Structure 1
Amino acid sequence: MKYSAGNAEELKDKFWHELAGSSYVMLQLDGDPAGAAPMTASLDKHADSEIWFFTARDSRWARQGAATACYTSKGHDLFARFTGTLTEETDKARLDKQWSNFVEAWFPGGKTDPNLLFLRMDLGDAEIWSGELGALATAKMALGLNVRDEVAGKHVETAL
């Protein structure tokens, strides 16, 4: 069973909220599935179909293209897998907006560091799972009882 249309939007909103609180994802190029590695997603609260990444021009992501990211919230109560396309972001205003001291720590040459590659991920489809079980389901699990009914309907396939 999947979320209804109304609940799907709630789960999607929860995904964006959780990602803003902990923006680490496992990112891979679809053409290099063994190359998944942790990356920090740079978000804009007004952009819900794009995520940005700062990386090096000699990194695996410099090839760009179709990509997949996996996400687990801090509390392990939300999981997501989403797809998109990585391309170089050339908008200087966007670079300024997403830039932070944390990024500068990786690029001592600043925004003009020759090895800096600023990528935009135009988002496609996603699957989002809610891991919230509640007290009753948790107690049932601790006793080894069936919790399948409690987890049914905590999943949505959607476009981000």
Structure 2
Amino acid sequence: MTQGSTETFWEMIAEFDTCMVTTRDGTKLRARPMAPRISRERGQILFVTDIRSHKVGEVEGDDQVACTFTKHGSYVAVSGTASVTQDRARIDEIWDAEIEAWMPQGKDGEGVGVFVIDPSQAEIWDVKANKVTQAWEFAKAYLGDKPQPDVSEHVKVQL
């Protein structure tokens, strides 16, 4: 949509330290928590991963993925495509002490790779209302004055 919405998207997801990444495993969907690293310059969401993991095989079969970010009052759903790289420069770019805890073999370990998501669209819900306003909106909806409470801003973003 608008450039402002795109900027809001990148600013919001940079605030999350975990998201649920969903892949397709045959006919089933699988989600797992992962720690995102954001590359605004490339327009990508990055995760260090073990290339021998199930999710790598799953995106080789179907590269469509979804990421769900949630934190009190802020929600972002992302759709896109995934790929995996073992490019050392990309690993160096996002490696930090937290990743080291998950990958004790170090950044030069043979199974270390980067799970790359190229987002194509996102939906953002951002709750702006305080608790009193939220209660009032829920009461109006309950009493039939409104079809549903109005407590958040909702935007669809094409990336």
- The answer on whether the counterparts of 2:137 and 2:151 sit within 8 Å (CA) in structure 1 is no
In structure 2, the partner of 1:99 is 95
In structure 2, the partner of 1:159 is 158
Counterparts of 1:101-120 in structure 2, within 5 Å, are: 101-120=97-116
Letter in 2 for 1:17: E
- The answer on whether the counterparts of 1:88 and 1:117 sit within 8 Å (CA) in structure 2 is yes
Aligned with residue 20 of structure 1, among 7, 10, 14: 14
Aligned with residue 39 of structure 1, among 24, 34, 46: 34
Counterparts of 1:64-79 in structure 2, within 5 Å, are: 64=59, 65-73=63-71, 76-79=72-75
TM-score (norm 2): 0.78
Q: Can you give the 5+ residue segments of structure 1 that lack an aligned partner in the other structure?
A: none
Secondary structure of the corresponding residue to residue 128 of structure 2: coil
Q: 1:41: how far off? A: 0.7
CA RMSD of aligned residues (A): 2.5
- The answer on whether the counterparts of 1:27 and 1:37 sit within 8 Å (CA) in structure 2 is yes
Letter in 1 for 2:150: E
How many positions carry a matched residue from both structures? 149
In structure 2, the partner of 1:150 is 150
2-structure distance, mates of 1:38, 1:29: 12
- The answer on whether the counterparts of 1:31 and 1:66 sit within 8 Å (CA) in structure 2 is no
Q: Which has the higher helix share?
A: 1
- The answer on whether the counterparts of 2:121 and 2:156 sit within 8 Å (CA) in structure 1 is yes
Aligned with residue 117 of structure 2, among 116, 121, 130: 121
